[in-house]
Structure 1
Amino acid sequence: MSSPTPATGARSSRLALLVVGLCWLVVLFDGLDMFIYGSVLPHMLETKALGIDPGKAGDIGSYATFGMLIGALSSGTISDWAGRKKTIVVSTAVFSLASAVCAVAGTLGVFSLGRFLAGLGLGGLLPSAITLVSEYAPRGRGALIVGSLMTAHQAGGIVAGFVALWTGDWRVSFWICVIPLFVGVPLAVRYLPESLTFLQAKGRTEEARALADRYGVTAPDATPGEKRPAGTERWSAVAALFRGGLWVQTLFFWMASFGGLLLVYGVSQWLPSMMRAAGYDLGSSLGFVIVINLGGIVGMLIGGRLTDRFGGARIGAIWFGATAVGVYLLSVHMPLAVTYLVVFLTGLFLFSAQAMIYATVAARSDDDNRATAVGWTSGMGRFGAVFGPWLGGQLLATGSTTTGFTVFAAAGVFSLIFIGLTGLPSVKRPTDRDAAHPVSATG
């Protein structure tokens, strides 16, 4: 392939910025919708809205993450069949409309249905957005592009905290989460280009050529390797994760991912309520949502750099250990300024620690089974994402916030042990590497 002319390179960069900008916007909305439930939950529990209590609230959180499990596992197949763009548009529309269901819900059952439907859309959006921006990233800047996209999710959590503070009403907050239907969806339909790789793989070469000409880029060659493998081949790729002694490493990664996503979703949903129960006022409790996500953005930006230099297993273990310490310290009633600092540092380690699991899996995988390895590690972790919100509800229902923080801290130690074990020479293959690959903490 010939090198692009300066004009072509400039137009290619503008195309990448267009794709990243639009995907960043919809991922921001994804983060807003994911974090809004935890942000409004303290108010819902205080007013007993729809007859909710801590136990039922935990169940509802698990319904949403179960929907995300289904959405995440099916998004790859749907995206390869219908296209990245359509999957992104439909996923955004689904979680936006689901927020409208929550806003008008007259019973807890209808509200629960709304959160489950939102989970389907939330789970389907992020993998497709990551795939699309990766395919349009300029050569040599994939890590920068995907890392930048991941900050949108934590930014959405910050917006969720401000929305809950500003509205003071859970129904209004969920109505605000319908805005993506009227902003993100039309913009994506009008301006977001389809993946050139997808078009070529589907044999739609004329569409791919026209799109490439419009933006002054070179369309990728249609090669058999770009097509998604058939069903039997997919299962062969899964079986390859257990061959030649790899089953130990695979199971260790799955266990670490289970504990990591249990932490991410459990703490994300229950932090405001647990801090409220610990004696902080409502404003401070919602402020913690904003601060922990600010920490998450910083952690995403620096975690990958350290992983590149020192290896994912080593840094991941340190990160999970720091997360466990931070979560446990939140059970101690400290001066407000100190608490904000601890929350910020906990967010810095919490969200990027899970990303390091995926980074290490991706780095140790071969080119032909990397997507399978990361996808199944994420899928197994999703069971922790389902369990975490339910567990938080049961713990809060006991009335002991100290126990809740201690249990979540233990989950951090659990993941520390298993990600650390993957770094042992007896577990790693001689050819294994630990270089970072940019992936989502909630993927």
Structure 2
Amino acid sequence: MTALPQSRLDRVGRTVLALCFVVVLLEGFDLFVYSTVIPDLIDDPDWHLTASQAGRIGSYATFGMLLGSLAIGTVTDWIGRRKTVMACATWFSLLMAFCAVAPNPTVFGLGRFLAGLALGGLIPTAMPLVMEYIGENRRGRGATWMMAGYHVGGLVVAALAIAVLPAFGWRAMFWAGAIPIVVMLPLLWRYLPESVGFLLSHGRRAEAEAVASRHHIPLDDVQPDENPRADRSAGLRTIFGPGYLVATLLFFVASFCGLLLVYGFGTWLPELMRKSGYGLGSALTFLVVTNVGAIAGMLLTGPIADRAGTKRTAAIWFLTGAVFVGILSIHLPAVLMYLAAALAGFFLFTAQTVLYGHVGYHYPSSAHATALGWIAGIGRIGSVVGPTLGGVLLDADAGVWSFYVFALAGLVGAAAMALAPGASRSRWPLFGRAGSPATS
């Protein structure tokens, strides 16, 4: 990872973080907007959607994200990180407008799939930029603050839906997500720098010198990124080899369950609560408080994982999140229900991030990228299955069992992390400092 002089990090780092936070917020808006409009889509007399069909449409976006995350490295090699971030944000914003005018479910589903291609590539491209410019000692805060933007987007879309949906309908929600790029694209073009380390690693020294000069960064202080064309076969042999195979398979299971919950439960929460007897406004409020909990989880979990260990924290987070999902199936006083929703968001939406943190310390440094890529990739399969599963459960009129199936996914994730081996260090690489006791 590139190291930049601290004298330039404060201003440039804040700018890069702020810009990436906003585009990740827009991504969160795009992904959560579908969960807010599902009740209206199912009730639309012209579309005649069943819950299963709505679930499949929800999976189109996550399948597109899977393909987009696989292809983004090639796109980045071609046009660079800065332009890739701008292209992704512009592409999924345009597809929001496309969905706003879709005449039927088929065209709408196509729009969601195409949007997913850009959604899958944004965070893997924006994160290295933030990590480079925020500074060596601030990467933990930079990573979580940027990722908090995703759930701020979910919070914004849920709050907006409470006011907009009854008055203007579901199409207005997609227009609301499409318009901000008109302001953001000029700001990204003007203020978002390219990665100097990325340019150097790709042999584009003249461009690196230009960026370094513009931001007053001594080029000699910059280390090139790892060669993206390096042979990854050694990493594959490591993660599937003796001493790591069992852990790799268990991480696959946990990652699958984690993203099944994030995208399945997250997509269907308003409709699940509506089926439980809550009005649409109240059901959307559950999405608001769930994202408030998720934001708190992103900001507070890191220091906890530093102290308790990433493996233990991930297992407890999956388990506790599953418990609160189950509690949502019980009719309790409203304040307790909202508290359960907030705590479900706190634990479930953060457990996957802690899992990634543990992976960063479990494998040797030469295999980190390969391990994380494979484990995140398997998780993406869960993100495709989750929305479809929720639709099937609702069409089957599963009632409280819909909550219990999602809770079961959390329990399986917790068991996988509990059974996984520990690592030689417990501190979360996004938050901790060097040197710590063994992971428990």
TM-score bin, normalised by smaller chain:
over 0.9
Alignment of 1:435 onto 2:427: yes
Equivalent positions of 1:323-334 (< 5 A) are 323-334=321-332
What corresponds to 1:68 in structure 2?
65
User: Normalising to structure 1: TM-score of the pair?
Assistant: 0.92
Q: Distance in 2 between matches of 1:281 and 1:147?
A: 33
Check whether the contact 1:312–1:434 (CA below 8 A) recurs between aligned residues. yes
Letter of the structure 2 residue corresponding to residue 312 of structure 1: T
Q: Distance in 1 between matches of 2:150 and 2:220?
A: 30
Check whether the contact 1:200–1:220 (CA below 8 A) recurs between aligned residues. no
Q: Distance in 2 between matches of 1:392 and 1:118?
A: 21
What corresponds to 2:262 in structure 1?
264
Check whether the contact 1:154–1:297 (CA below 8 A) recurs between aligned residues. yes
Residue 72 to residue 438, structure 1, CA distance change in 2 (3 Å): farther
Q: Distance in 1 between matches of 2:289 and 2:323?
A: 17
Q: Distance in 2 between matches of 1:214 and 1:136?
A: 14
What corresponds to 1:297 in structure 2?
295
* Per-residue CA distance 1:196-251 (angstroms, 9 max, x = gap): 11111122223222322222223366777632134xx1233222211222111111
Q: Distance in 1 between matches of 2:335 and 2:45?
A: 30
Residue 49 to residue 386, structure 1, CA distance change in 2 (3 Å): farther
Check whether the contact 1:20–1:145 (CA below 8 A) recurs between aligned residues. yes
Q: Distance in 2 between matches of 1:223 and 1:131?
A: 14
Q: Distance in 2 between matches of 1:152 and 1:220?
A: 33
Alignment of 1:254 onto 2:232: no
The alpha carbon displacement at 1:147 in A equals 1.2
Alignment of 1:18 onto 2:15: yes
What corresponds to 1:339 in structure 2?
337
Q: Distance in 2 between matches of 1:345 and 1:9?
A: 37
The alpha carbon displacement at 1:316 in A equals 0.8
Gaps of 5+ in 1: none
The alpha carbon displacement at 1:163 in A equals 2.2
What corresponds to 1:321 in structure 2?
319
Check whether the contact 1:92–1:180 (CA below 8 A) recurs between aligned residues. no
What corresponds to 1:86 in structure 2?
83
SS of alignment partner, residue 369 of structure 1: helix
The alpha carbon displacement at 1:365 in A equals 2.4
SS of alignment partner, residue 219 of structure 2: coil
Gaps of 5+ in 2: 432-440
Letter of the structure 2 residue corresponding to residue 311 of structure 1: G
The alpha carbon displacement at 1:144 in A equals 1.1
| Aligned positions, number | 426
Q: Distance in 2 between matches of 1:16 and 1:193?
A: 10
Letter of the structure 1 residue corresponding to residue 76 of structure 2: S
Check whether the contact 2:19–2:188 (CA below 8 A) recurs between aligned residues. yes
User: Normalising to structure 2: TM-score of the pair?
Assistant: 0.93
Q: Distance in 2 between matches of 1:273 and 1:166?
A: 17
What corresponds to 1:215 in structure 2?
215
Which residue, 153, 158, 163 being the options, matches 1:156? 153
Check whether the contact 1:62–1:390 (CA below 8 A) recurs between aligned residues. yes
Check whether the contact 1:364–1:434 (CA below 8 A) recurs between aligned residues. no
Aligned-pair identity (%): 44
What corresponds to 1:28 in structure 2?
25
The alpha carbon displacement at 1:269 in A equals 0.3
